[in-house]
Amino acid sequence: NAGVMQNPRHLVRRRGQEARLRCSPMKGHSHVYWYRQLPEEGLKFMVYLQKENIIDESGMPKERFSAEFPKEGPSILRIQQVVRGDSAAYFCASSPGAGSEEQYFGPGTRLTVT
Amino acid sequence: DAKTTQPPSMDCAEGRAANLPCNHSTISGNEYVYWYRQIHSQGPQYIIHGLKNNETNEMASLIITEDRKSSTLILPHATLRDTAVYYCIVRVAGSARQLTFGSGTQLTVLP
């Protein structure tokens, strides 16, 4: 059973460009979480999604950031008009569903904004 | 979710047991204690969780005090690959909510 997959693993964008980060959850998992880890800081929750629904986006910046988890395909975290402060590691985690205690994390996408 | 307190860093000799403490004095009756770790630059890895009984799996043991106000994660025979930041997290059982990571304990296993 393949683990959580994220791509790309490394992404370089110039200021003002768009970044798209993809996350494929583990097989059978219907819940996806996105976390951000700024350099030398801890992991911070961004958004929690189920298929076709955003359940909790309380950790998402109000502007430029959006997330989706369509019926088919991976979950996408989209950052528009990136700025240098968006440079971070973005981790995706998945779980089977409500009542499941563990979240399984992907290897992360390292975003560098130049 | 209850707040947790962990020492910022610890060292352990390779082959010895690593005992990582966590205080969670405000834990409530329906909150579990979870442990995750993050090896440098990798995604966090689930280790173990428990409610009130001691738990053991292939990675570690979790000892929770009777009053549930503190716990200890035990890696019985630490190896260099166990060097990581270890996070103790308390959250409500049965919820699919996000994990709230604190600053954790940087465990360094020394050769």
Residues of chain A found within 8 Å of residue B45, distances taken between Cβ atoms:
105
Whats the size of chain A, residue-wise? 114
pLDDT, mean of each 10-residue run, chain A (114 residues): 89 98 93 92 91 92 95 95 96 81 91 97
- Tell me the per-residue pLDDT of B26-57, one tens digit each, with 9 for 90 and over: 998 888 999 999 998 899 999 999 999 899 99
pLDDT of residue B2: 67
Q: Chain-wide mean pLDDT for chain B? A: 92
Q: Does A72 touch chain B (CB under 8 A)?
A: no
pLDDT of residue A96: 83
Tokens 């600053």, located at residue? B103
Q: Which residues of chain B have pLDDT under 50?
A: none
Secondary structure in 3-state letters for B30-81: CEEEEEEEECCCCCCEEEEEECCCCEECCCCEEEECCCCCEEEEEECCCCHH
For an interface test with A, which of B46, B86, B98, B100 has the most A Cβ atoms less than 10 Å from its Cβ?
B98
